[in-house]
Amino acid sequence: MDTCRIPENASKCSGNTMECFKVLSTQAQKISIGILCGLFGTMCVFENSLVLYLIFSSPGIRKKPSYLFIGSLALADILASIIFVCSFLNFHVFNEAGFSKEVFLLQLGGVNTSFSASLSSLLLTALDRYISISRPSEYKLLMTRKRAWTALGVLWVSCATIASLPLLGWNCCVLDSACSELFPFVDDNYLSGWICFIVVLLGCIIYAYAHVLWRARQHVAYMEKHQAQAGKQNTRMRMDVMLAKTLVMVLAVLTLCWSPVLVLMVYSLFARLSDRLRKAFAFCSTLCLLNSMVNPIIYALRSKELLSSLRRVFSHFRRQLKASEESPEAESTHRSSVLET
């Protein structure tokens, strides 16, 4: 017997529990969601792919742990965009009814893994800045490339494991517990645990950035007072302060984009959601894509190294384009001379 709890609109389900979660009732809503997902998803994949290329095509950049973490963030955002957009549009817009429980939980696990890895990558980046500013003299010894890769490995394995728990058996149709009103087959207890995991990550990031900003303000005051004597040390401090401010901007965007989703998730644990709130949740989910789309823009505007690398790529592209435009003319001239001969 199916132990899933049926949401308020059970009368519309006609015995199919998956239909209960298709909350977009009008064509205008489906078109709006489709446009948002298509725009945000396409831009997110393009921008984050560009960030990955800039990082790993520049030997000086890819050797730095800070940019390894940023590369992990970009990769997570790419995967999240592709998996989220495809599964979300198939389910809510194209009304694909062939989803089995296992297929849906596999897709949901992919989305959760990617978004959790994105947030966890921000945490590692925050910790990297925390160590760089709080213990600058020991930074290179503490934050090596080997430790950075190890941390990234632990990050991705942990996120994938947590996200796979519903597929491995912790779901409402196997355990005798209530289903979430927002996600098919998802146990409310698992959802509350995942929310706690995300809140802990956010709390750790906020704490790390609070310390980073406090130390950054100290560095700014020190630079203004000892600018003549500091030299290279001041230059490094300026870079740390700039990167810290950049990452705080990323965190602010992350919080603004994820707050509506998390608030509705928490609310669904304690009260039944109306159809209007469930539709609002569907639209708020696209804000997660917006966050993934905005992150690379912040890097390009704030990171001098990535911006310099981007300029080199554009310069190389312009030279190649100019050469390709000139080569047909040269080839045409050569052919004309041959015919005349």
Percent of the chain predicted with pLDDT > 90: 15
Q: What is the mean pLDDT of the chain?
A: 78
172 has pLDDT over 80? no
CA distance 75 to 77: 5
The predicted structure's pLDDT at residue 160: 94
Q: How confident is the model at residue 8 (pLDDT cuts 50, 70, 90)?
A: very low
**Can you tell me the mean pLDDT for 280-309?**
81
- Name every residue whose Cβ is closer than 8 Å to that of residue 172 and which is 6 or more positions away in sequence: 3, 4, 5, 178, 179, 180, 185, 186, 187, 188
Q: Give the residue-averaged pLDDT of 232-249.
A: 62
State the pLDDT at residue 237: 55
* Residues 314, 209: Cα–Cα separation, whole Å: 33
Q: Name beta bridge partners: 171.
A: 186
Query: Is residue 3 very low, low, confident or very high in pLDDT (cuts 50, 70, 90)?
Result: very low
CA separation for the pair 294, 51 (Å, rounded):
12
Mean pLDDT of 151-176: 84
Q: What's the pLDDT at 99?
A: 64
Q: How far apart are CA 35 and CA 63, in angstroms?
A: 38
Calpha distance 176→187 (Å, rounded): 9
Rounded CA separation 237/240 (Å): 5
User: Looking at this protein, which amino acid is placed at residue 38?
Assistant: G
Helices (H), the chain: 27-56, 59-62, 65-88, 101-134, 139-142, 145-168, 188-225, 227-230, 232-270, 275-302, 304-340
pLDDT at 177 over 50: no
Collapsing DSSP to helix, strand or coil, 92 comes out as helix
Residue 247 and residue 126 in contact, taking contact as beta carbons nearer than 8 Å: yes
The pLDDT of residue 301: 65
pTM given for the model: 0.80
Which range, of 14-18, 41-45, 165-169, averages the lowest pLDDT? 14-18
Query: Which of 162, 222, 147 is closest to 196 using CA atoms?
Result: 162
Taking residues 171-187, what's their average pLDDT?
71
Q: pLDDT tens digits for 306-315?
A: 888 888 888 8
Residue 137 has φ and ψ, to the nearest 5°, of: -70, -25
The set of residues, in sequence order, having a beta carbon less than 8 Å from that of 213 and lying 6+ positions away, is 244, 248
Confidence of residue 14 (pLDDT cuts 50, 70, 90): very low
Determine the CATH number of domain 25-227+242-308: 1.20.1070.10
- When pLDDT is averaged across residues 36-42 and rounded to a whole number, the result is 88
155 vs 147: CA distance, rounded Å: 12
